[in-house]
Amino acid sequence: MSVLLKLGWFFRRYRRHYAAAFAALLSISGLIMVPPWITGRLVDAIAQERLTLSLLLSHLGLLLGVGLVVYLLRIIWRGKLYGASYQLAALLRSRIYDHLTLMAPGFFQHHRSGDLMARATNDVTAVEMTAGEAVLALVDGVLTGVVVLAVMMTVVSWKLTLLALLPWPVMGYFMWRFGNQMHDAFSEAQRQFSLLNDQTQESLSGVRLIKAFGRQTQTQADYSAVTAAVSRANLAVAKVDAKYEPVIFATVGSSFLLAIGGGAWWIHHGQLTVGELTSFTMYLGYLIWPMFAYGWTLNLLERGAAAHARIDELLDTAPQIPDTGTREQPASTRLDVDIRRFTYPGGAHPALENIHFDLPPGASLGIVGHTGSGKTTLINLLLRLYEDPQVMIRLDGRALADYRLAALRRQFGLVPQDPFLFSVSIADNIALGRPEASLDEIRAAARLACVDDDILTFPQQYDTPVGERGITLSGGQKQRLAIARALLLDPPILVLDDALSAVDMQTERRILHNLKQTRQGRSNIIVCHRLSAVTQADEIIVLRHGIVEERGRHMQLLAHDGWYAQMFRYQQIERAIDLDGGGDG
């Protein structure tokens, strides 16, 4: 029952829906007592040879009227009760999604995608059934049981009622045991379902790599092992579920046996009529549903409790980056960065140390360095994906924490090295941040990103579906689509996180030239390995093992003859060799 208490907030919000449903159920519970009573009267009338046509027709008309009213009342309670439970599912899924959008990258490193999907699907469905079918079974079962027992004891015979109920305490004991077993079995089944989701998602996402390495057989074996574990867990749930009905049928059979035997005895001694026993057995048949409802309620409540605990565990995880800021729009995009030391949660060594620089509005900043030098970490801190007391970054003189997260991130347009594309058309992917943008605006952004010509070669052009994660496009095309997406937003600060790595040198020069022409007065941060991308930057920072090894403009760094100058000369030689090789081909 604890899960019902935890859902009290929802029942209070939709109390009118539940009140209407309960009123309809209560009315139905009273109305269905009429047919057995009429049947008993007709049986006695036949036995006593006093049945007339008018009596028969009046009773049949009453039965028809009761049937029509019950039909209408069932439509009402189903619409109200199940409609409310569907709203609960929508609310929970919305809360889960909103909560996940607040989570920092570190959260997703510790929670697998399949597990999160299972909590948002199967677990929510189990809680939805608790608020719908479980409440129905509980309330309708209780109402029907109470009304039937009251009628049986007052209208027919209280002694026969007590005799028929003798097997019920035994059923209650077994239901309690099965409920505990169901909670454990269902929790394990949900855990195994999460693992199956993980395995399925990874297998589908990596299917090309699996084929390239000839891992089909091993992957199939691993997948079969996971599905077998899921089958065993679900079988354990089914075994517990299968125990409910035999106990209920045994209880019902015993109750009928005692009722018929005791009723025959009291008829023989003139303390009961055949019609009354007929009504009593029909009423006893009505108790089959409350007994099933009792078992079904315990089953659903245990499933719901296990699922609700998993959802609560997710929602109770506090965001690592609290959204407590109040400021909306900075007057200036000036960035002041002062990082004394930053270490990832659980890390042993600092990822960044002694990083100090400022980026005036409209300036361009280049960030370069070897792999693992801390370039992406610095970008993550600028976007407030991580924070630390020893990290102080100000936007327009205000700490990043002073801004609402949504408002802060609207100031940045990020193009990552491995951009994510959705399974929609090319136009929809470019217009992700501005869904109201016209096709002309979308094409203008695509031309700036030097991808318009490529798109026009596709049969459906801008209506071409890109496939899951952009699988139908090349790496360079995906990067340029992501750049077009950012340019359509025209953000105050554009961040290219090695976003030109998959395009050729000529295309890179064209894109950078377009950026310089169209983004005058707006800031650009270019993170790259190919140093030709930052030669026009107002300042270049060279990171090495998390610290600033060199800084200055392009010509100053060449004169310094450090890592930057050596790498630039190496890349120039590499480019010349590639050009010579291309000419020979």
323-363 pLDDT tens trace: 787 888 888 888 898 988 888 877 778 888 888 988 888 88
Q: What percent of the chain has pLDDT over 70?
A: 91
48-81 pLDDT tens trace: 777 777 777 877 887 888 888 888 888 887 888 8
Q: What is the CA radius of gyration of the chain?
A: 36
Residues 6+ apart with CB under 8 A from 422: 428, 429, 432, 466
pTM exceeding 0.75: no
Which whole number is the average pLDDT over 473-480?
80
Q: Which CATH number fits domain 2-315: 1.20.58.410, 2.70.70.10, 1.20.1560.10, 1.20.1300.10?
A: 1.20.1560.10
| CA atoms of 354 and 338, how far apart (whole Å) | 7
**What is the predicted pLDDT for the residue at 565?**
87
Q: What percent of the chain has pLDDT over 90?
A: 0
Strands 547-552 and 493-497 come out as: unpaired
| CA atoms of 228 and 27, how far apart (whole Å) | 48
**What is the predicted pLDDT for the residue at 537?**
85
198-245 pLDDT tens trace: 777 667 666 666 766 676 777 778 778 888 888 888 888 788 777 767
Residues 519, 502: contact at Cβ < 8 Å? no
**What is the predicted pLDDT for the residue at 232?**
84
With CA atoms as reference, report the closest residue to 126 among 155, 97, 154, 85: 85
Half-sphere exposure of 370 (CA within 13 A, CB side): 8
Strands 523-527 and 364-369 come out as: parallel
Residue showing tokens 């479980």: 134
DSSP 208-228: HHHHHTT-HHHHHHHHHHHHH
Flag whether pLDDT at 34 surpasses 50. yes
| CA atoms of 337 and 380, how far apart (whole Å) | 13
**What is the predicted pLDDT for the residue at 585?**
38
Mean per-residue pLDDT of the chain: 80
| CA atoms of 407 and 405, how far apart (whole Å) | 5
Least confident interval from 296-305, 451-460, 480-489: 296-305
Domain ranges of the chain: 2-315, 418-490
Strands 493-497 and 523-527 come out as: parallel
| CA atoms of 245 and 507, how far apart (whole Å) | 70
Residues 185, 237: contact at Cβ < 8 Å? yes
DSSP 399-457: EGGGB-HHHHHTTEEEE-SS----SSBHHHHHTSS-TT--HHHHHHHHHHTT-HHHHHT
Q: Tell me if the domain spanning 418-490 has CATH number 3.40.50.300.
A: yes
| CA atoms of 80 and 364, how far apart (whole Å) | 59
Query: Measuring CA to CA, how many Å separate 541 from each of 193, 499, 505, 525?
Result: 47, 17, 22, 11
